[in-house]
Structure formats: structure tokens, C-alpha cells
């Protein structure tokens, strides 16, 4: 009689390492094609049909719908990189994927995961020292190149000289938290400009309101300027026309009182986060008060900070001391719609940048590129060191880490060697995305890096082979590369230490935890 065999006994076992490695590689492949000046864009569509077209790694990873927990862990690399350095997100995720891919080969050789993680940590520590050795002190010209490099490969590239100069001028005149960026389509990128003051993407509510206000006293209101919600939901029965008129007059009197409260504070400008009742708008227009509604919270906060005012949520408590003061408020025409322009601000440091582009999608992408540019310039200024770009530092690290591996004892030596190999994924991806052969490019670059002065040679995306990136003006902050390596190493080491993925039990619902709500 034949023996019955359970088919499940022969089923392949998939370990947590296999799953994590596969997820890391897939996520890296998702963004790898966006690297470099010839990187491709991604078209992202949400359930409502809203389309975003971008090659910004941070945006792609933030907006992509991810279900796997490991993928969400890896996106922390992107979040950390973006928050700390404003650029290098794609590089950090791609390096993470390559480190996990190399770890798979080491695991197949029966090297323990914690040994691999330890080797990766040793390699990263040495890499940080090597980066400091090749760092170049910043100058204004290098900072300008840093801004241009950050915008390369994006919609802003055609006018990157002008935008990079604006970014440099802005960041040298103030701090990041004092920079306000306004984006407007239906224009040319070369029409972008920066002003000392604030720009708000709103307009007056009534054409009878003034176009400009000198010595503006601005009331910043975060609630609807109308009757309280409970007063709008009353159900009243009336028997004659006089009662109707009496009810209407009563409501008008209440709205008049609200308007008078604002006017008595001394305000001649009202910026409201929400809506303003039409009757109140009419009163403001008659009194020569400028009013705008649905002003973004970020703009309200910027005005409050610049004008030393306070945002209020209770109109009856509005006082003169709550008002923000500005020397001049103007409504200026920009394209089809006007903007509110605030200048002559006593508090120094408020700067606004107006970005223009032909379409809404392109101006959004230029906004992301410009945001990266001012971020990396500020990071470079703060750290004081920059590096050649184009994959040059990764090749330099790869070469020197191979030599360092020979000094490491134990099986960690193989992990250090794998770490060195993994770093070549960046120049290889730059070459491939530019239509070049990655293998031939790496061979040529290794030859150039063999000399002591070759550490500045990166991928020549135009002619193939390598070229001195410092001479080409392809520069990136040292801290961007440093943080990318730190983030990738930490997350790869963390994933390698996981041997089981376990679903947690459902947490207690309200009422099931014994607490009396």
C-alpha cells in the first residue's frame, strides 16, 4: 500500500529575510529610474483621479500606497533623509535595496545576519571618516552649483541658473522658516522672483474694497466671521410679514455687532482662515477695510510671526494688541488672478518667492525642486563642506572600503566587501538612466579613481566614462551623502535582525479595556 505524503511538507519555506530582501529590492527599483539628469518621471493617480507627475523620490515614496509593513519601515529612510537633508532620498532607498540584495548572497553562504549587520556598521563608520577627508570648503560659487545640482533632471532644469541664484540669495538673507513660496501656473519660469515681504495667494472679497492699505493693522481670525452655528440652525415659525422683518433685522443687528467688534479693535485688514458673511463683507467695504477669506493656515502663521500679531478664534475677544502690523498691503496682478503683497515689515527676515510655470503640474514640480534647492544650500552652509556629485563619492568609498575590508577580521570582512560593492549601484544607475552601459562606465571610473586625485570623478552622462565633477559644477552637500549612508545602513541592519514577521492581536476597543469612559 502506498504511503500518503502531505504535500505541504515539500512546500518551500519563505523566511522573514527573504521577504524583507524582496520588498527592499522592489522599493529600490521603484525609484531607481528617477536618478540623475536623465531620470524618468512617475505618474501617480489617487482614487479621486488627481494626477501627480514627479521624479522626486520623497514625493513618490510618500504618496505611493504601500501595504507591506517592511515597505513602510523603509519609507522611514525617505522621511528621515528629507527632513534632515532635503535631498538624497532616492539614493538612500536605492542603497538600502542594494545592501539587502548583497546580504542575500551572504546569507546563502551561511553567514549569520547579525555578523552581516555588524560588518555593514563597521563599513559605514569607516565611510563617514573617508567622506570628511575629501570634503571641500563651501564658497558662494559652490553653493550656487549645489542649488543647480538639486534641480537637475527636473522641470526646473531649463531655468536652473536663475532659480538657483534666487535660492542662494534667499537663504543667505533669512532662515528656512521665514521663506514663503507661492506657485502660479500660466506663466514662464523666468518670471519667477523673490521679494522682501510676504505673498499670499488670495484676493479681496469685494471690488469696492481698497487695492492697497498703508499702515495695515491685520486681524487674523481662524473661525467663520458670521453668526454662531447654533444661531443658524434655529427653527422659527412666524405669522405675519412684520415678524419676518423683525427676525431679519435681528440677524443683521447681530452681524453688525460682530463687524463693529472687529472694527473697534482698530483693524483695517481682515484675513480669515474660513468664511466671512456677505453682510459683514458689505460693512467692511463701506468702511474701507480690506478682507480676504480662506487664507491658508501657513500664511496666517507667517503674517502673525512677521507682524507680531496673534491669531484669534473668539471674535468677541479681539484686541488691538492681537493685530499684526505691516507698513503696506497691496493687491498685485499676477497672471489671471491677483496676489496679496505685504511689505515694509518691521520684523526683518520675511521673504517670499513667486514661482511661475506654464502648467499646474510643472509649477508643482518646480516648487518641489526649488524647495530641495533652498534646503540643500542651507544644509551645505550649515555643515560647511561639499562633495563632487555624479556618483563620485560612492566610487571613492567603494575603492577604499575594499582596502579596509582586508584589515577586518572574521566573517564581517565579507560584509564590508559587500558594502563596498553595493555603493557602486549609484554610479551604475546614473549611467544606465543616461543610456550608457553601466559595466563599461564602472570599469572606466575605477581606472580614474585608482589615482590619489581621482576621487572627484563621476559619471559623464553626456559622453560616457568619467569626468571631474568639481570642474563640471556638479556638487552636493557632504551631509546629504553622509545621512544617506547612515539611513541605509541602519535600516538594512535592522531588517537583517528580523527573523519572524508576526501579526499582533487586535487591541482592545473602547469599553473592552475596563476603563469607564
Distance CA 495, CA 4 (A): 39
pLDDT of residue 5: 46
pLDDT of residue 517: 46
Q: Which of 87, 299, 322, 372 is catalytic?
A: 372
Is 89 assigned a catalytic role? yes
Distance CA 408, CA 416 (A): 8
DSSP one-letter string for 272-322: ESS-B-HHHHHHHHHTT-EEE-S--HHHHHHHHHHHT--EES-GGG--GGG
Query: Which residue is listed with cell 575594499?
Result: 402
Q: Which of 41, 54, 56, 299 is catalytic?
A: 56
Q: Which of 54, 59, 70, 89 is catalytic?
A: 89
205-231 confidence digits (pLDDT tens):
999 999 999 999 999 999 999 887 645
User: Domains of the chain, with CATH numbers?
Assistant: 14-137+387-496 (1.10.560.10), 198-349 (3.50.7.10)
Is 64 assigned a catalytic role? no
Distance CA 288, CA 291 (A): 10
Cβ count near 434 (within 10 Å): 19
Low-confidence ranges of the chain (pLDDT < 50): 1-7, 9, 230, 517
Q: Which of 90, 121, 149, 152 is catalytic?
A: 90
pLDDT of residue 50: 86
Query: Which residue is listed with cell 520588498?
Result: 23
> Which SS3 state, helix, strand or coil, does residue 246 take?
helix
Distance CA 412, CA 399 (A): 17
Cβ neighbors of 419 (< 8 A, separation 6 or more) are 99, 102, 119, 120, 123, 124, 401, 489
Distance CA 398, CA 423 (A): 6
Could you give the maximum distance between any two Cα atoms of the chain, in Å? 103
pLDDT of residue 3: 44
Let me know: does 123 contact 401? Beta carbons within 8 Å.
Answer: yes
> Which SS3 state, helix, strand or coil, does residue 354 take?
strand
183-213 confidence digits (pLDDT tens):
988 888 888 989 888 999 999 999 999 999 9
pLDDT of residue 294: 94
Distance CA 358, CA 365 (A): 12
Long-range CB pairs of 435-443, under 8 A, 24+ apart, other chains included? 435/38, 436/461, 436/464, 437/464, 440/464, 441/465, 441/466
Phi, psi of 385 (to 5 degrees): -130, 145
Let me know: does 88 contact 380? Beta carbons within 8 Å.
Answer: no
Distance CA 99, CA 105 (A): 10
CA atoms within 13 A on the CB side of 86: 22
Let me know: does 307 contact 347? Beta carbons within 8 Å.
Answer: yes
Amino acid at each position: 500500500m502506498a504511503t500518503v505524503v502531505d504535500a505541504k511538507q515539500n512546500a518551500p519555506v519563505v523566511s522573514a529575510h527573504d521577504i524583507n530582501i524582496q520588498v527592499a529590492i522592489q522599493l529600490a527599483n521603484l525609484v531607481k529610474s528617477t536618478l540623475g539628469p536623465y531620470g524618468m518621471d512617475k505618474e501617480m493617480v489617487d482614487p479621486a483621479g488627481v494626477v501627480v507627475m514627479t521624479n522626486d523620490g520623497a514625493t513618490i515614496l510618500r504618496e505611493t500606497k504601500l501595504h507591506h509593513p517592511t515597505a513602510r519601515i523603509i519609507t522611514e529612510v525617505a522621511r528621515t533623509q528629507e527632513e534632515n537633508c532635503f535631498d538624497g532620498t532616492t539614493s538612500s532607498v536605492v542603497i538600502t535595496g542594494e545592501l539587502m540584495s548583497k546580504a542575500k548572497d551572504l546569507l546563502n553562504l551561511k553567514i549569520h545576519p547579525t555578523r552581516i549587520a555588524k560588518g555593514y556598521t563597521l563599513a559605514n563608520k569607516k565611510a563617514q571618516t573617508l567622506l570628511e577627508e575629501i570634503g571641500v570648503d563651501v564658497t558662494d560659487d559652490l553653493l550656487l552649483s549645489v542649488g543647480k545640482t538639486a534641480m537637475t533632471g527636473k522641470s526646473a532644469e531649463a531655468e536652473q541658473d536663475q532659480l538657483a541664484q534666487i535660492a542662494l540669495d534667499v537663504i543667505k538673507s533669512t532662515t528656512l522658516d521665514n521663506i514663503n513660496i507661492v506657485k502660479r501656473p500660466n506663466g514662464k519660469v523666468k518670471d519667477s522672483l523673490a521679494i522682501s515681504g510676504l505673498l499670499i495667494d488670495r484676493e479681496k472679497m469685494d471690488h469696492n474694497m481698497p487695492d492697497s492699505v498703508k499702515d495695515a493693522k491685520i486681524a487674523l481670525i481662524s473661525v467663520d466671521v458670521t453668526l454662531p452655528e447654533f444661531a443658524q440652525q434655529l427653527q422659527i415659525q412666524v405669522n405675519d410679514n412684520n415678524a419676518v422683518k423683525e427676525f431679519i433685522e435681528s440677524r443683521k443687528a447681530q452681524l453688525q455687532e460682530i463687524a463693529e467688534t472687529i472694527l473697534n479693535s482698530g483693524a483695517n485688514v481682515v484675513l480669515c482662515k474660513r468664511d466671512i458673511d456677505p453682510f459683514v463683507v458689505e460693512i467692511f467695504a463701506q468702511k474701507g477695510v480690506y478682507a480676504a477669506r480662506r487664507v491658508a493656515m501657513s500664511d496666517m502663521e507667517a503674517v502673525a510671526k512677521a507682524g507680531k500679531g496673534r491669531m484669534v478664534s473668539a471674535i468677541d475677544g479681539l484686541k488691538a494688541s492681537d493685530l499684526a502690523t505691516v507698513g503696506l498691503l497691496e493687491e498685485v496682478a499676477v497672471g489671471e488672478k491677483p496676489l496679496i503683497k505685504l511689505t515694509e515689515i518691521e520684523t526683518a527676515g520675511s521673504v517670499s518667492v513667486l514661482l511661475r510655470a506654464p502648467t499646474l503640474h510643472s509649477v508643482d514640480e518646480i516648487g518641489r525642486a526649488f524647495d530641495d534647492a533652498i534646503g540643500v544650500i542651507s544644509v551645505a552652509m550649515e555643515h560647511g563642506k561639499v562633495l563632487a556629485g555624479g556618483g563620485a563619492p560612492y566610487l571613492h568609498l567603494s575603492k577604499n572600503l575594499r582596502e579596509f575590508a582586508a584589515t577586518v577580521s572574521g566573517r564581517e570582512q565579507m560584509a564590508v566587501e559587500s558594502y563596498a560593492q553595493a555603493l557602486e549601484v549609484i554610479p551604475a544607475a546614473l549611467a544606465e538612466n543616461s543610456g550608457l552601459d553601466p559595466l563599461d562606465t564602472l570599469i572606466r571610473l575605477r581606472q580614474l579613481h585608482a589615482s590619489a586625485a581621482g576621487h572627484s570623478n563621476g559619471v559623464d552622462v553626456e559622453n560616457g566614462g568619467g569626468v571631474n565633477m568639481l570642474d563640471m559644477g556638479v556638487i552636493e552637500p557632504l551631509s546629504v551623502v553622509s545621512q544617506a549612508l547612515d539611513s541605509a545602513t541602519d535600516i538594512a541592519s535592522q531588517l537583517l535582525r528580523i527573523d519572524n514577521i508576526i501579526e499582533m492581536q487586535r487591541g482592545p476597543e473602547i469599553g473592552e479595556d475596563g476603563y469607564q469612559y
